[in-house]
Amino acid sequence: MKKITNYGTAIALTLLVLACQEQGHKNAQTEAHQPSYWQDTTLAKAISNIPQVSTGYQHQVMVLGTFHFNRSTDGSDVVAKNHIDVAAEQSQKEIQEIVNTIETDFKPTLVVVEWMPSFQAKFDSLYQAYLKGDWTLVKNEAFQIGFRTAKAMELPTIYCVDNRPPQPESLHELDDWDSYAKSVGQTEAFNEYNEDNDAFNAYMDDMLSKLSLKQYLILINSPAHVRRYKALSFTGLVNLGQNDNYVGADLTGNWYRRNTRIFTNVRSLCKTKSERILIIYGAGHKWALDEIFAGSPEFEVIQPFR
């Protein structure tokens, strides 16, 4: 027994030493990554004491980026040639798996979708019919994922929070982007990333034929895809414009405008200080919505498929 005790003690001491070494390594890494101005104690103290926001809110938000389940209503700039049949048995099984995971791990108190508020009365009616078994879910992510999740969480409804701000004035008389780029000598800046962006869109289209529904949703919600999709907004078109007519920048800014309005619509639905909101939106919105909600001291962004 004594040998076993000593052996256990040796293991404990070894683990303690390793833990101390690991902590020392972490501390060294932290010190190595600290900016040089932290050596100025007065400045370091001033930075540390910057007054922070204390809101009392503890909202959590999960932006689930999706492809549009119904191609006939897909208004995306780039419409894929391939598609996943969401009505297929395997797709339906995977949708239910996703809903079950969200119900268990996130437990949303609110579910919001990419529909205009003017449809809210219709959504309320359809949701009540669905709960009674009088309506079959159609091919739309708001219904397939949103209605199922809301039912699982016994929520009274799901909310339509979309907004479509008017196009910037600089775009009103612009019919031909290529001709405009040529007229202002910006053809190269406008087309510089066409090959890269076309390759990305073709790749994502190809993945629709090679991945299952759940796999594809995991793909488009991955940090790598979100980062790459964001680059679409900051290459090519955004560079088009000059003097007081920044048509490309205005269009990109209008995307922020739309998503900021969505943020405001979502926030207005929060009736307590600790809501958990599931946002079901086209994947193109995810990078902007994640950024906007992360910028608010009231919200913590939770990623799906963690």
Domain ranges of the chain: 2-48, 58-306
Give residue 8's pLDDT. 46
- Average pLDDT for 26-30: 51
Q: What is the mean pLDDT of the chain?
A: 88
Contacts of 145 (CB under 8 A, 6+ apart): 64, 66, 95, 98, 99, 280
DSSP secondary structure letters along 225-290: HHHHHHHHTTSSGGG--BTTB-HHHHHHHHHHHHHHHHHHHHHHT--SSS-EEEEEEEGGGHHHHH
Q: Report the percent of the chain where pLDDT is more than 90.
A: 71
Please report where in the chains the tokens 């099984």 appear, as a residue: 93
Q: Is 207 exposed, middle or buried (0-12, 13-18, 19+ CB in 10 A)?
A: middle
Give residue 25's pLDDT. 55
C-alpha span between 238 and 246 (Å, rounded):
8
Give residue 36's pLDDT. 84
Q: Which of 2-11, 75-84, 113-122 has the lowest mean pLDDT?
A: 2-11
Which one-letter amino acid corresponds to residue 184? V
Give residue 39's pLDDT. 86
Give residue 175's pLDDT. 78
H helical segments located in 68-176: 89-101, 120-131, 141, 148-152
Highest mean pLDDT among 46-50, 143-147, 251-255: 143-147
Give residue 4's pLDDT. 38
pLDDT single digits (tens) 270-282: 999 999 999 999 9
Q: Report the percent of the chain where pLDDT is more than 70.
A: 86
Give residue 172's pLDDT. 74
Per-residue pLDDT for 137 more than 50?
Answer: yes
Per-residue pLDDT for 21 more than 80?
Answer: no
Contact 298, 59 (CB under 8 A): yes
Token pair for residue 137? Answer: 């879910």
- Average pLDDT for 144-172: 93
Segment holding 73, helix H or strand E: none
DSSP class of 300:
E
C-alpha span between 141 and 66 (Å, rounded):
7
- Average pLDDT for 10-21: 47
- Average pLDDT for 28-39: 68
